[in-house]
Chains A and B, each alone.
Chain A
């Protein structure tokens, strides 16, 4: 397993922290650890402290919601070169969904408490981390909206189609009566 001082190049190579300043990266490394997960292993559980976030290096993680009496629903999968988890930076720092390794997963994890303390002390680091998280959050919001649109679902008749249908029916009835 890579030790924290070896994680610098790995963090540099991941698209999420690409191009980050060397000094800031050194601060990140102090809160980082290399981790592996076997298929089925949970990375986070809903309602539990969200004390970490992950840079996924390889494998797939399913973000899931488990509701009573139903099979868990996979909301999205997060894979190589992507980042998993932002609840660590939003109070009350509790995970909002389950995250389960679908395949063997290699990831760099960051201790949320450690990083929050550093971000509070060093605002440049705080800005840099949040600046990188914001597009991820907005992207996930946009894609969730797209999922809600149910684009592949049955087509909904255009606005006014029911009126046209009714008018045709009336016209037909009048024609018959005439």
Chain B
């Protein structure tokens, strides 16, 4: 069953089945469709989530694409809508439109090294792609996750990172920008992890997600070690309203981020990343 209603502006009601506090300002909601049915999406896509009476926001899906029975969204409470969402409880109902946008090209990376570079809450939109990659682990050469956070207290999906790190077929490195002596791990920016490699640049596909500045520097670092521009993919964020390319709110140069993105190939957007006016 298709998740998208016939009218793209009509939200579908979903009930909150679980709420998880991830960090002091970040939470995860698990949603199930009120009228039943399932929900198919590709890793990297997003939904417009509607808190009734408050407003709508685009949030990437952070769940497993193989599990169509529920929708999982992880977000930071930063504005009116996400703060209102943060106050919702189990049993409350949200409106969902989607899924929208371009996905991470996981299958196109079959046979290659797959490198995920995530920063802060940017690990959430990458999680479906990481899950999918591990489901098809034998289709890739190396799978590497490089994750940077602000401090050790800001590390998202800690348990999951630990579980991934304990696998023998996946390399996970974590770094934080600042720490006290209680932290025994890496300190430094995530691009330092890129420089240490652990993958073969010439046969690497990289998916990068995080704050725009972090993605820009990470793409430069990946390119510097030899990863081709057209093998680097970034997930962009702009102020979206309709989510499906009708309103033009998220126009970014020649692109609509909601329709042409959010996942873009780096060689197609590299020049736009340094245009201040955009």
B214: interface (CB < 8 Å): yes
Interface 1/0s, chain B 189-230, versus A by CB < 8 A?
101100110000000000000110110010000000000000
- Answer whether A152 and B188 are a contact pair too, CB < 8 Å, given A72-B181, A74-B183, A147-B178: no
B154: interface (CB < 8 Å): yes
Residues of B within 8 A of A79 (CB): 186, 196
- Answer whether A150 and B177 are a contact pair too, CB < 8 Å, given A143-B192, A155-B78: yes
A71: interface (CB < 8 Å): yes
- Answer whether A73 and B150 are a contact pair too, CB < 8 Å, given A143-B189, A147-B189, A152-B120: no
B184: interface (CB < 8 Å): yes
Within 8 A of A (CB), among B97-150: 119-120, 148-150
B187: interface (CB < 8 Å): yes
| Nearest chain A residue, comparing its CB with the CB of B25 | A154
A77: interface (CB < 8 Å): yes
Instruction: For B188, give its contact among A71, A76, A149, A155 (CB under 8 Å).
Output: A76
Query: Are A151 and B181 within 8 A (Cβ)?
Result: no
Query: Are A71 and B180 within 8 A (Cβ)?
Result: yes
Interface 1/0s, chain A 53-93, versus B by CB < 8 A?
00000001010100000011111110101000000000000
What's the least CB distance linking A85 to chain B, in Å? 16
Query: Are B149 and A74 within 8 A (Cβ)?
Result: no
| Nearest chain A residue, comparing its CB with the CB of B121 | A152
Instruction: For A62, give its contact among B181, B191, B217 (CB under 8 Å).
Output: B181
Bound-state Cα–Cα, A103 to B183, Å:
12
Residues of B within 8 A of A152 (CB): 119-120, 148-150, 154, 177, 210-211, 214
| Nearest chain B residue, comparing its CB with the CB of A140 | B188
Query: Are B213 and A149 within 8 A (Cβ)?
Result: yes
Residues of B within 8 A of A77 (CB): 175, 185-188
What's the least CB distance linking B99 to chain A, in Å? 24
B179: interface (CB < 8 Å): yes
- Answer whether A62 and B187 are a contact pair too, CB < 8 Å, given A71-B181, A151-B119, A152-B150: yes
Residues of A within 8 A of B185 (CB): 77
Query: Are B177 and A74 within 8 A (Cβ)?
Result: no
Residues of B within 8 A of A102 (CB): 184
A1: interface (CB < 8 Å): no
A175: interface (CB < 8 Å): no
Bound-state Cα–Cα, A155 to B237, Å:
13
Query: Are A75 and B187 within 8 A (Cβ)?
Result: yes
Instruction: For B180, give its contact among A73, A76, A146, A153 (CB under 8 Å).
Output: A73
Query: Are A146 and B181 within 8 A (Cβ)?
Result: no
Query: Are B180 and A72 within 8 A (Cβ)?
Result: yes
Residues of A within 8 A of B187 (CB): 62, 74-77
Bound-state Cα–Cα, A150 to B148, Å:
12
Query: Are A151 and B180 within 8 A (Cβ)?
Result: no
Query: Are B181 and A143 within 8 A (Cβ)?
Result: no
What's the least CB distance linking A23 to chain B, in Å? 30
Query: Are A74 and B180 within 8 A (Cβ)?
Result: yes
Interface 1/0s, chain A 117-159, versus B by CB < 8 A?
0000000000000000000000100010011011111110000
10 closest A-B pairs by CB? A152-B120, A152-B150, A71-B180, A76-B188, A74-B187, A151-B214, A146-B189, A77-B187, A74-B179, A151-B211
16 contacts between A and B (CB under 8 A): A71-B180, A71-B181, A74-B187, A79-B196, A102-B184, A143-B191, A143-B192, A146-B191, A147-B188, A149-B213, A151-B120, A151-B213, A152-B154, A152-B177, A152-B214, A154-B78
Q: Which residues of A contact B (CB under 8 A)?
A: 60, 62, 64, 71-77, 79, 81, 100, 102-103, 139, 143, 146-147, 149-155
- Beyond A73-B179, A77-B175: 16 further Cβ-contacts under 8 Å? A60-B184, A72-B180, A74-B181, A76-B187, A77-B186, A77-B188, A79-B186, A103-B184, A143-B191, A146-B191, A147-B177, A147-B178, A149-B213, A151-B213, A151-B214, A152-B120
